[in-house]
Each structure stands twice: as structure tokens, then as C-alpha cells.
Structure 1
């Protein structure tokens, strides 16, 4: 006779122990027994009722046998954790009235013959597997035509109307293949999809043909929960839980597959590295819930513009990547990047707010810019850093010169904090000129990093790093304090009073204590607030219009002047512009450079100045470099200008000399002629 399981004969020590049946306890056990029966034997060495009753019944049944007829005890038991164990024991006497059993046990894992007379309880020679019903095992017996001869009690609870072998299968076309393997090979072990009473489930089957050849047996183990757990584990490992996009792990797998695919065909593919501009400001100011909703909105919007042969990944934080397959030339990648930049810049409605973030995109191409996964990620990240340096909301295609830039970025990031602590920074000043008499009436403070080894580092190299790391907050505070002290020094030096403007970053503007910090600095330096001007961008103001209005009124109560910088390049609402307590608009240099040449720029500048005049706002045009631009701006009644035509940014010493020289010139012009 055959049994349903075979013993796992790995080279580990067998579990052995001695049981006192009368006391329901363990007299002795080895290490393997303690581990194997951890769920069946309590810490007090007491047996559970299932094991105890099985032993007592069998041992007492054997007491009437003479010593020469005494046989080994053999039983199958199913543990609470689902393992099936075979136990083999010998009846022993432990003393008067004490029955005992010496036991050896191993875990059972598959289907083979085991011989007859080895099960606990009664055995039906016509149906040798009936005893397995007691252990909740699901099994079937079929004849060689596929007709079901018997099924266990557990199988009846799982399946219904199983008259033929094919009735088990969710896809009946699979049945002949499995059935054929059983008939030809005599055994099978595989996973299939069965139709159960609760739906289609993945099941593991172990089957073998009887030695007589007229039937075969099939044990079925439901693996649906395991399969679902595996699927969930795969999802957690390979997909981002927030956006449901494939994650960095998936990108590595996909890139590895893509490289192998195109390497032999002399083909190319592209990788776009995306970093959101201004996201950290939103996250820090409004919390992670708002930030998470914004990230999901960005992901949905980018996915909506991607062509067929692309896939979007979230790498973590506010970083994304796009794999572009089967490209013909660089223009294919540039078109995708343009669409991403364009769609990302539109406002996002989040919790009754209109959030504004933009995207900086770096582009690399296989194999031109890297033949490995790491090289492609590095080159695309380098190109992304270049796009940020160019002013955000932009894209760049990698070139070899960016490698050094990327390394420099990493180096600067580590040195920036030390630079703030050691005040390695200096403010430069660019004059603001009143057009009516071309006198200097103000200046803009521009930060420069004077590195002890690398010399002067321009802002476009370190400001993006400061934004990303959060160091923009202490750096911005230093700029405001230094600007106020500078106004105090100019006043004490006897220079004519002029205004000094300071640019605020988006993250700095969202500081809850920013107004109080400025108030304390003005009080410390004794500077008249009307000479300090704060410049803000349109994007910054529109991130949360209501909170912006409250903060701007806080500055106005201090007596500060407020200006919108780079006007016309961002997203603004004229309805809100009327509500903002702003005194000045600065026309971006991109509109000034082609004045008198480009009719569209002329129209934009003229309309902006006219609108500002109607709202009683002062207008400053930046980037002025020629007299022809001055003529046009005068015609449009622009009040002030700023640009290289009059002066480049200067350090404190040069700017003081500049102010002194201008004061002398003015004195000479006013002095009487003899």
C-alpha cells in the first residue's frame, strides 16, 4: 500500500523524545524535537490534547498484543502552522502503570510510497487514505479516465461537483496537459489555478499514480493567500506606495533589461531625470499631506502627456525618471522633456489652494552618455543640475562638460554649511537708476560666495544647493541682516539715503517667523524701514495667495517696500495683484533685451507699464544695456532701470566709491558757475 507523503531526509538531526503517556508529558527530548514540536509541546513539557489522545488510543490498543506481535507506532500529524509530520514510535514501560513511547519524527513534504500499516487509527484497505481526513488534508483519487473515485472531507469543503479531473481547473484547457503528465511520468508537482467554492485560487498539487496503475492520487494545497502575499510583496518592493508608479528598484530592472535588449542591435534609448522646483517649500510650509497630494497630481499630469513608448518612475522624494524606448534622435527626447516642463508648470488645485511647482529635467542617452545604469543616472542627474542652474523650469541634454559640474555640485554641497558658519559670503550691489535724471536712487543686494580655495562662486552654482538642503534659510537671514547693517554703514558714512532691495527665496518667504526676524533686525540696526525693499517672485506669491496677503501686510506694517521681481515670467492673477500690497513691479530682462527690435516685447513692456501706472505701482526695467532701450522705456514712462549700461554689481568698497563719485558730480552740476 502507498501513503501520501514521504519523509524529508535532509541531513539534520532527527527529532527524538520520550513521552509519558499517562502524565501527558515529555520525559526527555533532544534539540530538534524542541524546535520541531514548538507548537505541540508547551513550555511545561505538556502535550496538546490531539497528540495525547492519539498516543493513548494507539498504545492501549497494543497492550493486548504479545511481545512478538508488537509493532511500531506510526502516525501523521498536522501542526498549527500547517506543517505535516510523520512520527514513528515504540511502546515502552516507564514503571508500574506508566505507559511510554519513544518517538522519532521528521517533517513530510511530498508524495511517495511509504509502505503499509504505518498510520494511526484504523486502516481501510480499500481506501488507505481515509485517515487523512482527520488532518484536514485536501486530496482526490481518480481513475485513469479522469473520473473522481473519492475526495477527502477537506476537499469537499473547498470544491464542489468534482466528477471529472478537468472540473478542478479554472482553465479547462490546462487539464489534459497535467493529466497526461500524471499518466506518462507517474507523478507531478506544480502550481495551477483551480476553481474553488470561493473563486479561482492558485493551488499547489502533488500527484502520483498507484503502483497498480488503475488510479492516481492528488493532494491539493491552497496557495492563494501565499500568492496574494507574494504579489503584495512584489508591489511593495517594485512600486511606490504613494503614486503607484514603479519605483527606483523597478527602474534598475527595466534599465538592465533595456540595455540587454538594444546592446546587440545598435539602438538607442533615453533617460530623463526630473526634479521638482519649489516642492520642498510647499512640503515645509503646508505639511506632508498637501505635499503628497501635490506629488500625486504631478505624477498624473506627467503621465497624461507621455507618448506610447515611455514609462514614468518615481525615484523618491520629488524626483522622477522617464525611460524613453526606441528613439531615433535627440529630438524625440527633447519633445518629451518639453511636454513635461510645460505641463508641470500649470497650477495644481490642492485643498482649495493653487500650488505652483515647476520641473527641471536632465536628459541622457544610451550609449552616447553612458553604457551602464549608474552612468546613465549620473549623466541625466548632471544635466538636471545644469537645467536648475539655468533658472529652473527648464531641460538640458547632457554633454561631457557637465560631469565636472556635477562633481562640483557635490563638493559645494558639503562646503556650503561650513561657508555659512564662517561667513564666506559677501554682498554685491547693482545700482538702480531714476530715468528722469539718471541718478542712483537705490541698489539691489546680490550674494556672492568667496570660497577660500575656489575664489568667487556665482549664485547660480550654490543657490539651488542651498534650496535643496534647506540652508537657504540661514543664508537668507544672513543676507537680510547684512543688508540692514550696510544701510546703516552708508548712512553713517554720509552717503545720500538710497533704498536697498533683497531677494527672498520661496522657502524663506514661508518661514513663520520671517516678519518678526526682519522687525528685530531693523530695530537692532536703527534703519528706516522705507529704505529696505523685499523682492518676491510671482510664483512665490501665488503658492498660497491668502497666506501671502497676510504676510505682505505684516511687512507693510513695518514700513517696508515690496516688489514683484521678474514680472511676466510666472503665473499671476490680476485679481490677486490688486489685493497684494505691492509698490513696485520689475520687468524681467527677457522682455527688455529686444526692445525696439521685437514688436511683441515692445507691446508687453508697454502694457505692463500702463497697467502698473493705473495701479499706482512703480516700474523698474532690469537688464538695460543700450541707449536705444532707454529711449523706448522713456517713451513708455518707465521710472527706473537697472543694468550694465550704467553699472555692474560692485562690492561694498567699489559701491561706496561709486556713490561718492556720483554725489560729487551732482554737487559740481549744482555749484554756481563763476
Structure 2
């Protein structure tokens, strides 16, 4: 016991004492403990004052599991008569008779750095990178670190920090009910309103508020930028596929819960790849932006427009009444999207194809709804550009066939599975063969003969139209040369050019090379082009046409009257033939307006010294009318469908030429 007494006195100035658990007494204590415990235990020198029963039982429970020198696994608070707070800890010692006891120490709690009224200014001044401040019970500024003052400026009251007064009231109210608070909130700084992460502590005894702030605006900006990068298209600023699926999932949930309908429109631009390939991606990107802006203006306020990528867009409309509502949106878009766009100092024109699908009529889940709208869009594209289609069940089969053909198209070009057929061109009034139009056909090894309206759109979309178009030109020239070498009368053979072919940079050089390699006289070779193709970039078109004329190639405008019909440019184009579209010939002799248009076109062509050919002639009344209007040539099923090489030669022999020189314009 004497050793323990010496040990306690060495603890000075800590209050230390010994507890004898078995005897429920305090046999020893130092002077500091005697002073500290006087009011609690009275005269402890006698060693007779027992400790409380509850404390005795609690300590005995822990003591049985501890060995000499082990510390108690807990500590308890003690407040002296002068309100000084202590943390009391204990460790195991051995008493007389090898009984276990406890050696107790009372450690004073260190006072906070902030007093009731002021902070330790010297300590705060040491924080160079922390934004720390102290406010009194009324929210008035007491002190702050240098960084805080530089960041927020002169702050008189805690409320001055908040950008919104309501946020200040809410913050102060919540802090009054709890000792600490963590929050992300916008605060007013010298640089403006910025997001901060704040940690606040409220001292309930003094009323002081200790505030630590951290500017997280850059992190917030980064998060926002990352969110936009993941969910919005960078080119058009439209929401992308991620947000589309989020809205569709929400729309599906609401529709199922409330027994409602919703629909979507799948939109794809026609021949957009032609723009990228011939004008560059920068021009293509600008065109996409202009198209997106126009579509967004034409859809209802409740509809959402998304860009999936490339030239594909999706429009979602919730709470629809019936399919006609979606059809109305499609019509509005198509009526406006094909107007010209001012892009890169040019007036560009592009059309679109739209597919429509509705829940639950066309699908019960998101993936199938999108797939079916896509299938409807492809049907619209294959039927004719600038159209919309509502999904029907058979379209899924059509899209599978579409994809199957697309996969075999490249192989077909490599293996030359294509053949040319020739539709005779007939001179009036003697109805003599003077030429032919070369038309491509695909002799598929498994599917048989495939018409061009099924595979040409695939070739346009995939870019294979360029090698396919070159094959047509070369094969047509080879055929002309074969006919000449076989001694057949010379005829003029025409080939259609697609818009993408015409925009091909080296098109003139390629045609010149083919003519030289095959030995064909250019005056017997004709290129047919559409008005819309020429007017997409009239200046460049005129230059290219003059280059063709320099080669001696004949030029014809196909489907005349269905495009721009710009007479101002027509007189500038170095062309030799106008081909009147079949839509004007169908009702010839039955519709006075069509008669007037055809007659005026023929008269205009005559004044410009141009040849005129009418296509789609199918009956004698049409021939009689065209003869009456002095139309020079006709073409159509009344005379012949497109024929194979052998059949065309037989037809030409039965409708032989009477004047070979009349062929050459």
C-alpha cells in the first residue's frame, strides 16, 4: 500500500485516488483528489466513506475481466464545484491480500479556443488556407481566418453569407436544434454566388457558431459538365440517347399506371452522307444544327426532341389521344424540314424520312417501340424520301430483308451480280428507235431479279453507290462499243446519275477515263440528272456540266418539272435535253392543267433549242397529244419495257433507224 501512496503523490497536479472495490471504499488519494472529492465523498481520510453501490457493481463487473495494469474500457465525466470539467479514467492495481483495485485519475477537459465573446486571434491567424469564422449568439461576426475574409469580404452577420434569405433562416433554425451541421449550399462571395460545403458547430453553452467553409464551385461545374457530356449532344445541345431512355422508362411507367398512350417519331435525314462526303463534316455538322433548330420549333411544347447521333432524331410525346396526333407532328416537320438552309454561304436542301410507333398499339416495351419506329422510318425511306410511315407488323420482316440485302450488296459489286437493261427511246412522229436508257438490275443468286428501288437506297446509305455508279457507266460504255463493233446502227445510251455520284469530286475525270478506255464516241453517251441535284449548289453544278460538255457528253435533265424548275438557272445550264416527268404525262388529254404544262415546256425547250422527251407514255392518246405539241421523243411501256441486251437488239431491228445522222444533236 505504501508504494501506491507514493505513486499517487507523483501524479500531481492530477487528482488521483485508489478505489477498493471489495470494501467499497477509497483508501488513498493525493492532495488534488482530496480537494476535488471533498464535496462528493466528505471526509475521505478515514477511508470509511463507501462509494455508490451502482458504481461499485459496474466497476466490479469490469475488474473481473482485467489484469493488473489494464485500463478500464470506458471513462466518465466529472464536474467540480467551480464548474471545471474532468474526464475520469481508471487502471487495475493490486491491493493487500492480492485483491484487485483501481487507480483513478481525473484529467481536466481542455477549454475550447473560443471564449464566450472572442476567439484566440493569434491561433486563427495561423490558418492560411482554411476558411474559418466565428459568430456570436446573435449571428454577428466575431472573428475569422484571413482566407475567409479574402474569400467573402466584410461579413457583418451570418445571414450575409447566404445568397437566399430563406436559406439563411432554414440554416440557423436547424443549427439551433443540433450541435453540428453539414451541408452543400450556395453562398455569396466576392466572386459572386458559388457553391460551398460547410461544416457548422453550435456551442450551446456560449451560443457561439463556428463555421468552416470549402468552395466546391469548380467541382460542381465539373460534375455539371460531366453530366452534360454524358447526357447531351455536344453539337446540337439536344438530350441524347441516355436521357431518351430515361424519359421512355418514365413514360412507360406512367402510361401503364394511368392507362394512357404515348408515341415516338423516328426521323432520319435522306442522303445526308452525300453532304459529308462532298462538302466535309464541318458543313454537315452545321446542316445538322440548322435542321435540329427547325425541328425543335415545329414540335408541340409538350414533345421532347433527342439526337441519337449522326442524322438520326427521336421525338417523344406523352399522353397522346390517337395516332393522328403523331401523324400531324410528322406532317408539320416534313413540310418545313425540306426548305432550304443557309449553310456555309450556300442554300442547301435536304429531306427526311419519319417512322411512327405508339404504345401500346405497336409495342409494350421500350426496345420494341424504338425498333418498330425505326422499321417504319426505313419503309418511308424506301418508299420515297420526305415521307412518314406508321408502323405495321409486316415492316419488321421488310427491315430484315433490307438488312440482308445490305449485307450482300458489297459482295454483289465484287462478283458483278448486276446487269443492265435498256428501255428504248422512240422518235416522233415516225416512231423509230433513236436511243435507250440503261437501267441497272440485280441478279441475286438466291432471291432472283431485284429491282433498283430496293437496293439503290441501300447503296446510297452505305456509300456503295459510287463504285456501283462507276460500274454502270463503264458497262454502258462497253455495251455501246460492243454494239458498234458488231455493226449495229449507233444509238445514244443514257445513264442516270445519283445526287451523291454527281457530287463526287473526280466524277468528270472518271467518265473521261472510261470513255478513253472503251473507245466510245462521247456524242453517243448521255448523262441524266435531276433538277434538285443540280440546284443543290447551282454554281458548282454549272462548272461541272461545262466540264462534261467539253468532253462531248450529252446532258439531260430528268424528271423536269418536279424540282426547282428555276428558269433563271435553266438557261445557264449547258444541257441538250429536257425529260418531262411521267406525272405530267399520266393525265395528258384528260387534265387541261397537265396539257398546258406539257405544251408550255415543249415550247420553252424549242425556244432554248433543247430536245424534249416525255417518259411514262402508256397509251395512244398520250402519243397523239405529244405529236400535236411537237414533242421530239417518247419513252414508256406503250412501246417497250426495259429489255435485256439480246431483246433490245431484236426490238431495234424491228423498229430500225432510217437516218443515223439524226441521232447526233
The question of a shared fold, defined as TM-score above 0.5 by the shorter chain, is answered with yes
Following superposition, which runs of at least 4 residues in structure 1 exceed 4 angstroms of deviation?
115-119, 123-126
Deviates most, 196-205 or 359-368:
359-368
Q: Using a 3 Å threshold, how does the CA distance of structure 1 residues 330 and 629 change in structure 2: closer, same or farther? A: farther
Match of 1:528 in 2: 521
d(CA) in 2 for partners of 1:342, 1:614: 35
1:143 Cα deviation from its structure 2 partner: 3.4
1:423 Cα deviation from its structure 2 partner: 0.6
Structure 1 segment 137-286 matched on structure 2, within 5 A: 137-210=130-203, 212=205, 214-286=207-279
Match of 1:127 in 2: 119
**Cα deviation code 1:39-72 (max 9, x no counterpart):** xxxxxxxxxxxxxxxxxxxxxxxxxxxxxxxxxx
On the 8 A contact 1:148/1:162 being kept in 2, the answer is: yes
Q: Using a 3 Å threshold, how does the CA distance of structure 1 residues 152 and 605 change in structure 2: closer, same or farther? A: same
On the 8 A contact 1:359/1:393 being kept in 2, the answer is: yes
d(CA) in 1 for partners of 2:324, 2:595: 32
On the 8 A contact 1:389/1:460 being kept in 2, the answer is: yes
Match of 2:488 in 1: 495
Deviates most, 220-229 or 270-279:
270-279
d(CA) in 1 for partners of 2:494, 2:131: 81
On the 8 A contact 2:127/2:145 being kept in 1, the answer is: no
Match of 2:375 in 1: 382
Q: How many residues align?
A: 549
d(CA) in 1 for partners of 2:537, 2:215: 54
Backbone CA RMSD of aligned residues: 2.4
Q: Using a 3 Å threshold, how does the CA distance of structure 1 residues 118 and 253 change in structure 2: closer, same or farther? A: farther
2:348 is the counterpart of 1:355? yes
**Cα deviation code 1:331-390 (max 9, x no counterpart):** 222222122222122222223322222112222222222233322222122112111212
1:267 Cα deviation from its structure 2 partner: 2.0
2:411 is the counterpart of 1:411? no
Structure 1 segment 322-337 matched on structure 2, within 5 A: 322-337=315-330
Match of 2:90 in 1: none
- Of the three residues 392, 400, 413, the one matched with 1:399 is 392
On the 8 A contact 1:549/1:579 being kept in 2, the answer is: yes
d(CA) in 1 for partners of 2:521, 2:610: 21
Q: Using a 3 Å threshold, how does the CA distance of structure 1 residues 235 and 132 change in structure 2: closer, same or farther? A: farther
Classify the secondary structure of the residue corresponding to 1:646: coil
1:124 Cα deviation from its structure 2 partner: 7.0
On the 8 A contact 1:476/1:508 being kept in 2, the answer is: yes
d(CA) in 2 for partners of 1:428, 1:518: 20
d(CA) in 1 for partners of 2:318, 2:125: 56
On the 8 A contact 2:128/2:145 being kept in 1, the answer is: no
Gaps of 5+ in 1: 1-114, 668-674
2:335 is the counterpart of 1:342? yes
Q: TM-score, normalization: structure 1?
A: 0.77
User: Which one has a bigger Cα radius of gyration?
Assistant: 2
- Of the three residues 278, 281, 284, the one matched with 1:288 is 281
2:337 is the counterpart of 1:370? no
Q: Using a 3 Å threshold, how does the CA distance of structure 1 residues 237 and 361 change in structure 2: closer, same or farther? A: same
On the 8 A contact 1:273/1:322 being kept in 2, the answer is: yes
Match of 2:572 in 1: 579
d(CA) in 1 for partners of 2:264, 2:126: 58
Q: Using a 3 Å threshold, how does the CA distance of structure 1 residues 515 and 118 change in structure 2: closer, same or farther? A: farther
On the 8 A contact 1:495/1:659 being kept in 2, the answer is: no
1:173 Cα deviation from its structure 2 partner: 0.9
Q: Using a 3 Å threshold, how does the CA distance of structure 1 residues 118 and 577 change in structure 2: closer, same or farther? A: farther
On the 8 A contact 1:354/1:542 being kept in 2, the answer is: no
Q: Using a 3 Å threshold, how does the CA distance of structure 1 residues 211 and 423 change in structure 2: closer, same or farther? A: same
Classify the secondary structure of the residue corresponding to 1:570: coil
On the 8 A contact 1:309/1:326 being kept in 2, the answer is: no
- Of the three residues 468, 472, 488, the one matched with 2:461 is 468
Match of 1:65 in 2: none
Q: Using a 3 Å threshold, how does the CA distance of structure 1 residues 132 and 315 change in structure 2: closer, same or farther? A: farther
**Cα deviation code 1:603-653 (max 9, x no counterpart):** 332322222222111122212222222233223322222222221112222
Structure 1 segment 38-117 matched on structure 2, within 5 A: none
On the 8 A contact 1:181/1:187 being kept in 2, the answer is: no
Q: TM-score, normalization: structure 2?
A: 0.78
1:213 Cα deviation from its structure 2 partner: 5.9
